[in-house]
Homo-oligomer: A and B are copies of this chain.
Amino acid sequence: MTIGVFDSGVGGLTVLRALRARMPQADFVYLGDTARLPYGTKSPDTVRRYALQAAEALRSRDVSALVVACNTASGVALEALASRWPDVPVVGVVEPGAAAACRRSPAGNIAVIGTESTIRGGAYQAAIARLRPEARVRVRACSVFVALAEEGWFDTPAAEAVAQAYLGDWLQGDDPPDSMVLGCTHFPVLTDLIRRIAGDALVLVDSASTTAEVLAERLGAEPGGGGSVQFLATDGADRFARVGSRFLGQTIDATDVEIVDL
């Protein structure tokens, strides 16, 4: 079977990576809306419209499940997508990430970091409040992390200074969180960096693997196929391949990226 995965750009490739690890036989079509990224600074209405267009493009390629590998779009567009396509499983990254944080946080002292619109949208806060009402949640938008991740600065002095600026007061303060949700698909590549500032006690939750788990449950039987991956982007095949390879963890060839118009 073919599973459609979409994101505003290349960050969602961290989710594709987890999906392939969990369902190695499935075929995937990944769509990065690189002509219109980032979604994280755009209004909910605009993001919803973009997400519906992207999902439409994937549906036209006969996908039988849809993964919204973008926190911003998961936060604002998941219901609209699910009601438009009631016949296919539609899975976002916010609910699985929030559920994992609630399950794994020792004392329910949870921090969430993400893009500006993910944090303002409040989807993580709402999901955690529903699943673990007594949890204490603190949130922070960390927009510069996206640029660092795209630049490939995963663990440099500059990256460390930015991480200190965003997280130092929480992680080295009197009352550190016991767990932290990496609420943006770009952030998993910064795990080692954050770990180094936070120390080993902090539980770091990235929603990629939990999202893969949730989709596998929804699908029931292990999906068959040839294990292929097809890459679509709305702009810039070269950049998609170059920056995307870092997030996927394997080399993408620019000639394998098909440019589509939404």
Interface on A for B, CB 8 Å cutoff? 34-38, 41-43, 46, 116, 143-144, 146-148, 150-151, 153, 156-158, 160-162, 164-165, 235-236, 239
26 contacts between A and B (CB under 8 A): A34-B41, A35-B36, A35-B46, A36-B36, A37-B41, A38-B38, A41-B236, A41-B239, A42-B235, A42-B236, A43-B235, A43-B236, A143-B147, A143-B151, A144-B144, A144-B147, A144-B148, A144-B153, A147-B148, A153-B165, A156-B165, A157-B164, A157-B165, A158-B158, A160-B161, A162-B162
| Alpha-carbon gap, A42 to B9, bound state (A) | 12
* A150 shortest CB reach to chain B, Å: 7
- Tell me the number of copies of this protein: 2
| Alpha-carbon gap, A55 to B25, bound state (A) | 49
| Alpha-carbon gap, A147 to B184, bound state (A) | 16
Contacts of A160 in B (CB 8 A): 161
Contacts of A36 in B (CB 8 A): 35-36
